[in-house]
Amino acid sequence: MSTATPPTISDVVASPDQPQAFEPVVVTARVDDADTVDLLSNVALGADTTLPMADDGASGDGAAGDGVYGATIPGQDTGALIRYRVEATNDEGTASVPATGYTSVIVGATGGCRPASTS
Ligand SMILES: [Ca+2]
């Protein structure tokens, strides 16, 4: 690859997208033309943890060498806020999804409203 552009990232998918307590979240993304691909994540607005995303067939990424990279965020307790972003870098720059900020997931949030407190 010799294109003089930053990497491209597409098809970012979290599985499951609504994790339950202590259920790991596998994040995958299709990345083209990158030297390094990282998954940045944090819990409860804490400091980022950087996990390398791999296209090795052993990272929840499907087949090795198919351009889809994966990494796993460890499971968290119910109610935890997990935020993550995918960053890919080559000699020409860094791309990220989302472009700014993070994608947010609340563990155990199954949709709909929580029962109202009666006390
Ligand atoms: Ca792959």
Q: What is the pLDDT of residues 35-68, one digit of tens each?
A: 999 999 999 999 999 999 999 999 999 999 999 9
CA 118 to ligand 1 centroid distance, Å? 49
Where the chain has pLDDT below 70, the residues are 1-3, 111-119
Q: Which residues fall inside 5 Å of ion ligand 1, going by CB?
A: 55, 61-62, 66, 68
CA 84 to ligand 1 centroid distance, Å? 19
> In whole angstroms, what is the distance from residue 63 CA to residue 117 CA?
47
Single pTM value for the model: 0.88
Per CATH, the number for 8-106 is 2.60.40.10
